[in-house]
Structures are given as structure tokens and as C-alpha cells.
Chains A and B, each alone.
Chain A
């Protein structure tokens, strides 16, 4: 049976079960999603945008799905200790693909009008609000994995910040993967930041180190209205047996400011898609990311920035450090549409192959249909600077330490983009640990041990 067929059959036989444990809003898109999946299938290696990650093979195994929403016996608040000091986030959990219901008292005290919680629950309580956004920018035609996620996702995370509300405390969402059989999760994130509102969200991915395979599919839709400011940090610190297929869709209103920073500290195989769209003028986007990969790990990032209107500014920076036999890929497409004058779009992808076996593929792709724009792109794949290495050694810094300092320095400008000081400090520590080999596996949460 081919990869897609097993999901279609599963869906047809389990539709009632899936629907029962979800909400009408989410159920409303399923049939269309399955029809699209059936007619278009999953991306194949022959697709230009998917040449470096074999999506079909990733979805081929027979994973378990928790369609009946059997509760998992874990209290993440007890087993998870966030070690980002002074960050003082409002902390929430999604275990596999279910929102963990018993919210900490501290997190329950939110300013009036702010909604944070289970996507399923919120879409039952506020169907009008959620349906205005759910599935509206996650384009299922573009990518079969989004259609598949839409067909099976039953829950996830919802954040709504009403107009004018400035949320001082960052919100932290921790995704935990746990299980004792090969397991697939379909998680959904929906974020709505109203006019002039401000919020920061940090999403951390952790996974159990058990000898089972995880396939984690996540679709995240982010609506940032006019004049709003939103930070989205996505930090993966999973295990080598985890495959993550994630798509982030962003729509920005006029004069809005969005920062998206995707950080892969430890993983198995990760494919991330970022689709962003400027829907109003004078908006700014900073899209950045970094990955540190070694052994057989792989990171594949696809970005698509749509300058649909004029006077918008995007700045893109991705940096990878690859060791051992790791593989990396970056494809960054920027589209400046007809009439999107005064666009500024800058893209940079720099990569360090620290071992002769590491492989990096990079592909900048700018399509410009307006004539009064400033755009640039740059892509480099290089090794550590031998002159710098010798300079440091001549000052008594041992080679391994010098290499570590140089690799750390290389990733530093992505960390510098972080607009949360406590997270910045913590990231520096984590990255240093990672380079020292002290972060050989997921260490962020005790649930993993």
C-alpha cells in the first residue's frame, strides 16, 4: 500500500472517531483535505521544492495515531522543569497532539480578552472566532503534508490576543512527544494577534528518547493584524528518532512587525516550511533560523516570502553548522509581485561544513516583478577559517576549543536576533553546550528521561 493510501483508508474507516474527539470547526475541513490528498498525494523527491527530503518515505511506515484521544498518564508540570531562568513565561504543554488541560494557576491568570489553550476546546467555545482563521492560510493545495495534517489534526494550541493588548509575559508552549510504539502526531497551532497588539511565543519541541520512531507533523497559522508586533521562536531539541514536518504560515497586516526564529539544536530529520505573506503595506518581517546538526541528522528548510504589496521590508538569515555526515538544505524563495514597489528584501544563508562528509545544499530564489525595489541574496558554504584557527591556537587556545569558539561565533548573529534577553542568554548556553557535545540528546525536560 502506498504511503498516501493508508492514510486515506484510515480516514475513511475512522472518520467518526476523529470527528467525535475534535470540534466542528476542525472537522469542517477534513473532507476537502482528504480529497486533495487523494488527488495530489504527498510531495515526492521529484518535486523541485522537496528534492532533499523524502516525504513519501517518511510517511510510509505504519505509525500509531491516537485518534481516540486516550489520555497519557503524565503531568508535564511535574516532570518538566523549564531551565530558561528569569524568562518567567506563561507555560503550556501539548503532549503528543493533545493540549494538556490542567493549566498551572499562574498561567491561568491572563489579561482580559486573551485566550490561550486547547485549539479543540476554544473552537467549541468560540466557533465564530476560530473559524474566521482556522485553515485560512494553511494552503493544502501547496503541500500534501498540510492536507494530511488538516485531515487528522484533532487538537493543538490556540492563542488569541485582542486588539491593542500588549502581553508583557512571553508565552511558552512545550511540545512533548512520548510513546512506546512508533507514533505519529498531527498538531495544529493557531495564533491571532489583533490590531496594535503585541505578544511573544516560544515553542519548544522535546521528545522521548525511547527506541521508537516519532513522526511529528505541525501546521502553524499566524495572523498578525495591522500595527501588531509578534515574535515566534521555535526551538527543536528532540531526539534522533524524531522526524518533524512543520509548516508555518504567516499573514501580516499593515505596519506590523514579525520575527520568526527557528532553531534546531538537536533532532533526527526536520523539514520546515515557512510561508509568509505581506497583506498590508509598511510591514516588517525578520525570518531567521539556525541549525546545528551532526551524526546522520538532517535539516531541510524551505521559505517563501510573498511581497504582495508595496513598502514592506523582509530580512532573512539562516545559518547551519554541519558536522559528521549531517545533511542540510535551504531553499529560500522571495516573490516581489507586480506593483510591490519600494520593497526591501534581503536574504542570507551561510553554512559551515565542519567535516568533509557533511553536505549542504542551498538555493536562493528571487522573483521580482516590480522595478523599484532593493533586494539581495547571498549563500555561502565554507569551512572554518584556518587563519583564525591558527591565530587562536598561537595564543594558547587548544584546537578543539578554538573550533568551538569559531562555530559559536558563526551562529551568534542568529541568536542576536532574539528579542528576549533571558532567552538569548539561555540560547548561548545551550548552543555552547551543544558544540561541546554536552547536549548529545534532548535534555530540556525531565519527561524525556
Chain B
């Protein structure tokens, strides 16, 4: 579904991604780990089309389409989803209004009629339960006054509403206590199927105890320097990143 080929990207003229290669197939879970500043969040921002980043080389194919040529909204319509590391507060825009607009724009893109108010609210109710999101939060402004845990649950709730083909979870575990982590990870697992895929960006093995990866990649200085199975995450947890730096001849 996703083929990243030699991807280079800049922010403010500084090169952050220096040749990423990655292929993701339906049903797979990929974990991307790596030290701070290695480019993990940049990769998710570039894939979803954040205009602050400039792609200088390489290509990304998503179901055969040139992903980089699509606007952020069309990438979403094509089935790409990013759970933000820092979900944005939007005062004055209610969750209901926000989600209804998002869902109906997606339906429009796919040639479907907009959902009726009743069907929409029913859908909201169903999906809310997946992450145990309070009804009160759903009627408030987007992320405004939400706690850290509520914001992350809200991200997974939106993921449930939009049913993406590929989800990127950018440090979804950061700022979560154990209970919230279990709820969030449980939500992700409930949404998992043979047809969709997940890229999990994380610092810690902890999240991978709940969301079991098929592949683990180490991103370092803008490149994927090592790939392996789930055991690689355990090894990183135990040994840190120095041994990889050593392998690269840096230490």
C-alpha cells in the first residue's frame, strides 16, 4: 500500500530526512523507533502533507498514487491518518461539527451522500465507546481543555470515525498513564484488520507490548539504519542506541 523511496525532506532549509526507504503492506504493523531528533515526527508530517516541510527528493506511492502530489485533505480522503503527537486545540469549533464536516467531506470524495444527523450521531456514539470517550468531550470544542490522555483518546476516536487504510501513530503513548495507554492501545487493536496497516512511532517498548509490531525500524539521522522483527524493540529497550551507533562506526 505504501512505498517510500529515497525520501529527502527539509524544514527551513535544514535537511531532516536523508533518504528513507520503507514499504508497508496491508495487515502489517510497523514500529519506528529512534533517538530524539532523528526525524520520526518529520516523516509523519511529510507523509500527511504538512506545508511546513519541503520534499527535496524521492517519492511516496500510496495504493499506486503519487501521495506527495495530493493535498493534505485528499491524502486523508485516500485513507491516510495521523494521530498527532500534539493534538491541536481549536477553540470555538465543536467536536461534533468538526467530525461531521470531516466524515461528510470524505463521503463526498468517495461519491457518497452525506450522513443524516441521526446516523451521524449514532456513528459518533458507537465509535466513542471504542476509546471510552466521554459524551461531554464530544460536545466540547476540539481538544480544548482536554487532558493529555483525553487528547490522545480523541485522536483514536477520530481514527475510528474516519476508518483509514494507513494510520500513523506519532508518539501516541507520550503523556499517557497506564490506564489511558491500555485504552488507547485497545482502541487501536480493535480497529486493526487485514486490510489496514499501522505505523507506530514511539520511544518505548511499553506501547509495543500492547500493539504488537511485525517490523521494527530504527530511524537515525534521517535514515532507517536497522530493521528487524519485534525482538529488535526489546533489544533497544535493553541496550539503548549506542550499539547501533557503534555498528555505524560513529562511536
Give residues in A with beta carbon < 8 Å to B: 385-388, 390-399, 401, 405-406, 408-410, 412-413
Q: How far is the CA of A196 from the CA of B51 in the complex (A)?
A: 58
For chain B, residues 28 to 77, give those with C-beta under 8 angstroms from any C-beta of chain A.
Answer: 48-52, 71-73, 75-77
Residue from A388, A391, A394 whose CB has the most chain B CB atoms within 10 Å: A394
List the B residue with the shortest CB-CB distance to A405.
Answer: B93
Taking the complex as formed, is B82 at the interface, i.e. its CB lies under 8 A from any CB of chain A?
yes
Given contacts A392-B98, A406-B93, contact A397 B105 (CB under 8 A): yes
CB distance from A393 to the nearest CB of B (A): 4
Cβ–Cβ contact A413 & B90, under 8 A: no
Q: List 9 A-B contacts (CB under 8 A).
A: A391-B84, A393-B71, A394-B48, A394-B49, A394-B75, A399-B73, A406-B90, A409-B91, A410-B92
Report which of B51, B88, B92, B106 forms a contact with A391, defined as CB distance below 8 A: B88
The reply to whether A395 and B90 form a contact with Cβ atoms under 8 Å apart is: no
Complex Cα distance A55/B146, Å? 48
B162 beta carbon closer than 8 Å to chain A: yes
Chain B residues within 8 Å of A398, by CB:
71, 73, 105
**Do B97 and A405 touch (CB < 8 A)?**
yes
Highest count of chain B CB atoms <10 Å: which of A385, A388, A392, A413: A392
Most buried by A among B49, B81, B91, B141: B91
Q: Which of A385, A395, A413 contacts B76 (CB 8 A)?
A: A395
Q: Which of A395, A398, A399 has the most CB of B within 10 A?
A: A395
List the A side residues contacting B92 at CB < 8 Å: 408-410, 412-413
Say how far A352's CB is from chain B's closest CB, in angstroms: 12
Assess the A401–B90 pair: CB atoms within 8 A.
no
Cα separation A393 to B98 with both chains bound (whole Å): 11
B88 touches A395 (CB 8 A): no
Main secondary structure of the interface of A (DSSP, over half): helix
Alpha-carbon separation in the docked complex, A397 to B97 (Å): 11
- B51 contacts which chain A residues (CB < 8 A)? 386, 390
Tell whether B101 is near chain A: CB-to-CB under 8 Å. Answer: yes
> In this assembly, does B109 line the interface, its C-beta being within 8 Å of a C-beta of chain A?
yes
| Cα distance, A391 to B87, chains bound together (Å) | 8
Separation in Å of the B142 CB from the closest CB of chain A?
8
Within 8 A of A (CB), among B86-125: 87-93, 97-98, 101-102, 105-106, 109
Q: Is B82 a contact partner of A394 (Cβ separation < 8 A)?
A: yes
Chain B 137-179 near chain A by CB (<8 Å), digits 1 or 0: 0000100000000000000001000100000000000000000
Instruction: Determine if B105 and A409 form an interchain contact, defined as CB atoms under 8 angstroms apart.
Output: no
Most chain B beta carbons < 10 A, residue from A387, A393, A408: A393
Could you tell me the distance in whole angstroms from the C-beta of A411 to the nearest C-beta in chain B? 8
A396 to B87, CA, bound (A): 15
Chain A residues closer than 8 Å to B48, beta-carbon distance:
394
User: Shortest CB–CB separation between residue A281 and chain B, in angstroms?
Assistant: 35
- The interface residues of chain A lying within 8 Å CB-to-CB of B71 are 393, 398-399
Beyond A397-B73, A398-B73, A399-B73, is A392–B109 a contact (Cβ under 8 Å)?
A: no
Question: Which of A388, A390, A396 is close to B102, meaning CB atoms less than 8 Å apart?
Answer: A396
With most chain B CB atoms within 10 A of its CB, the pick from A387, A390, A396 is A396
Q: Which chain B residue shows the least CB distance to A416? A: B92
Q: How does the 8 Å CB contact mask read for B8-43 relative to A, with 1 for contact and 0 for none?
A: 000000000000000000000000000000000000
A8 to chain B, nearest CB (A): 49
Contact A396 B98, CB 8 Å, known A387-B88, A391-B90: no
- Knowing A390-B51, A409-B91, A413-B92 touch, does A396 contact B97 (C-beta < 8 A)? no
Q: CB distance B109 to A396 under 8 Å?
A: yes
Q: CA of A401 to CA of B77 in the docked complex: distance in angstroms?
A: 15
Per the bound structure, the CA–CA distance linking A250 and B109 in Å amounts to 53
- CB contact between A394 and one of B76, B91, B101, B141 (< 8 Å): that residue: B76
Given the complex, which residues of B lie within 8 Å of A396, measured CB to CB? 73, 76-77, 102, 105-106, 109, 162
A residues less than 8 Å from B87 (CB atoms): 391
Given the complex, which residues of A lie within 8 Å of B106, measured CB to CB?
A: 396
Give CA–CA (A401, B88) in the complex, Å: 17
- Measured CB to CB, the nearest residue on chain A to B97 is A405
Instruction: Kindly list the 6 A-B residue pairs having the minimum CB-CB distance in the complex, ordered from nearest.
Output: A409-B92, A396-B76, A393-B72, A391-B88, A395-B102, A412-B92
What 11 new A-B contacts, CB under 8 Å, besides A390-B88, A394-B48? A386-B51, A388-B89, A390-B50, A393-B76, A395-B102, A396-B73, A396-B105, A398-B73, A399-B73, A406-B90, A409-B91
Q: Quote the shortest CB–CB distance from B106 to chain A (angstroms).
A: 5
Point out the residues of chain A lying under 8 angstroms from B77, CB to CB.
396
* Chain A proximity of B103: nearest CB distance (Å): 8
Task: Tell me if A392 and B90 are in contact (CB < 8 A).
Answer: yes
CB distance from B100 to the nearest CB of A (A): 10
Q: What separation, in Å, do the CA atoms of A391 and B102 have in the docked complex?
A: 11
B-side contacts of A413, CB under 8 Å:
92
